[in-house]
Amino acid sequence: MPVRALRALARARARHRARHTWQHRGMSQGFGSESPRAHTQTVHRKAARYLVLIESGGFALARLFLDTRELVAEFDAGTEEAAQMTAGLMPARGADGPEWDRALEGHSAAERRAAEVYTLDI
């Protein structure tokens, strides 16, 4: 094959390769995945301060509260997480004080007296 034909073939292959290979400016070398955006700092919620184990209609609940007695989470008191949170802590008996009136307003006085209140380490 003449040299001129070989050069023409090489140029044609180069044009073909250049046409089919490209990279978008917004992409990294992450196999087509977009680069992550810059992180924006948000305000985090404060850590839970109290864990209240209370019975409600024959079902034991674990309720997490902030130090302002605002409800953060509620889950089954029989879970492993509740056992881990209470390990090594001594509960206060009863959540019938006035500071718990608003937080536990759906519970009866008997349920509140029988509740166990754990103060969590922050």
Residue 37's pLDDT is: 79
- Per-residue pLDDT, averaged over 71-96, amounts to 93
State how far the alpha carbon of 101 is from the alpha carbons of 8, 25, 59, 92, in Å.
88, 59, 20, 16
CA distance 115 to 120: 16
- pLDDT, tens only, 6-46: 788 778 777 666 555 555 555 556 566 666 778 888 888 88
59 belongs to a structural domain: yes
State how far the alpha carbon of 100 is from the alpha carbons of 18, 50, 61, 62, in Å.
71, 11, 16, 15
The H or E element containing residue 52 is strand 50-56
Residue 69's pLDDT is: 94
Residue 99's pLDDT is: 93
CA distance 36 to 42: 17
Residue 22's pLDDT is: 56
64 belongs to a structural domain: yes
110 belongs to a structural domain: yes
Average pLDDT, the chain: 84
The H or E element containing residue 117 is strand 116-119
- Per-residue pLDDT, averaged over 45-70, amounts to 92
Residue 92's pLDDT is: 93
24 belongs to a structural domain: no
Residues contacting residue 20 through CB under 8 Å, at least 6 positions apart: none
Domain total of the chain: 1
54 belongs to a structural domain: yes
Structural domain boundaries enclosing 101: 50-119
78 belongs to a structural domain: yes
81 belongs to a structural domain: yes
> 108 falls in which pLDDT band (50, 70, 90)?
very high
Whether the CA torsion 55, 61, 66, 70 is positive or negative: it is negative
For the entire predicted model, the pTM comes to 0.64
**Total Cβ atoms within 10 A of residue 9:** 11
- Per-residue pLDDT, averaged over 108-113, amounts to 93
